[in-house]
């Protein structure tokens, strides 16, 4: 799923922007920002970084059972965190910049959704770091490599992009009428 997380996050962010009726530029910006938390050190896969792995070896979190919270696809991959973050954002007035933290949460959540779909015998934890569930599709297998990455995601992005730009067109139309 590695290289697929980024375009998937972009599609999710853009899709969210389109769904809630954001102007095209903002919807694209949500997509771009969402990629920041979809892969690498600022994503749930921080649990694969050398620093995290070193800490995991030093900390006896395995004593908590089920491999311990610090294992790969452990506590950083718990669905509860983005759910809590999203809910929290709804509790505080974030004003006109509220879409920025939203985009980051969408990126993080899209990573979890991707890991839920892909990853043999693993998925993501239903409990804080245990009870893994997922469809277990083959990571980097034929489906991901030849269907999802080159066909499904670009198509989704193209359709969403057109939808977003369509809204931009509507905005222009409004401005034109207001000016006339």
Binding part of the chain for Zn ion, among 44-52, 55-63, 131-139, 160-168 by CB under 5 A, reads: 44-52
User: Contact between 47 and Zn ion (CB under 5 A)?
Assistant: no
Rule CB under 5 A: choose which of 4, 17, 24, 45 binds Zn ion: 45
Binding part of the chain for Zn ion, among 15-23, 97-105, 111-119, 128-136 by CB under 5 A, reads: 111-119
Give, in order, the Cα–Cα distances in Å from 80 to each of 89, 117, 163, 177: 14, 17, 31, 46
**Of 103 and 111, which CB lies nearer to Zn ion in the complex structure?**
111
Do 55 and 68 contact (CB within 8 A), yes or no? no
Q: Say whether 81 sits in a helix, a strand or coil.
A: helix
* Residue in this structure with the two tokens 């979890």, named with its chain if needed: 112
**Of 1 and 29, which CB lies nearer to Zn ion in the complex structure?**
1
> How far is the C-alpha of 1 from the C-alpha of 8, rounded, in Å?
10
Do 129 and 78 contact (CB within 8 A), yes or no? yes
User: Contact between 115 and Zn ion (CB under 5 A)?
Assistant: yes
How many other CB atoms are there within 10 angstroms of residue 8's CB atom?
28
Shortest Å, Cβ 116 to Zn ion: 10
**Of 56 and 115, which CB lies nearer to Zn ion in the complex structure?**
115
> How far is the C-alpha of 68 from the C-alpha of 63, rounded, in Å?
7
Binding part of the chain for Zn ion, among 98-106, 114-122, 129-137, 171-179 by CB under 5 A, reads: 114-122
Binding part of the chain for Zn ion, among 18-26, 89-97, 109-117, 152-160 by CB under 5 A, reads: 109-117
Residues contributing to the site for Zn ion (CB under 5 A): 44-45, 115
């Amino acid at each position: 799923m590695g290289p697929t997380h980024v375009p998937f996050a972009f599609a999710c962010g853009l899709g969210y922007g389109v769904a809630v009726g954001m102007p095209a530029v903002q919807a694209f910006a949500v997509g771009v920002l969402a990629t920041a938390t979809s892969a690498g050190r600022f994503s749930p896969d921080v649990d694969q970084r050398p620093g995290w792995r070193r800490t995991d070896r030093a900390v006896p979190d395995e004593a908590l059972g089920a491999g311990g919270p610090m294992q790969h696809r452990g506590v950083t991959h718990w669905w509860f965190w983005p759910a809590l973050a999203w809910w929290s954002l709804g509790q505080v007035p974030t004003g006109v910049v509220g879409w920025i933290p939203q985009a980051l949460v969408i990126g993080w959540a899209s990573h979890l959704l991707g890991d839920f779909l892909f990853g043999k015998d693993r998925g993501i934890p239903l409990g804080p770091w245990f009870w893994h569930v997922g469809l277990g599709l083959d990571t980097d297998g034929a489906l991901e490599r030849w269907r999802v990455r080159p066909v499904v995601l670009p198509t989704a992005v193209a359709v969403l992009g057109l939808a977003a730009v369509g809204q931009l067109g509507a905005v222009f139309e409004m401005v034109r009428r207001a000016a006339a």
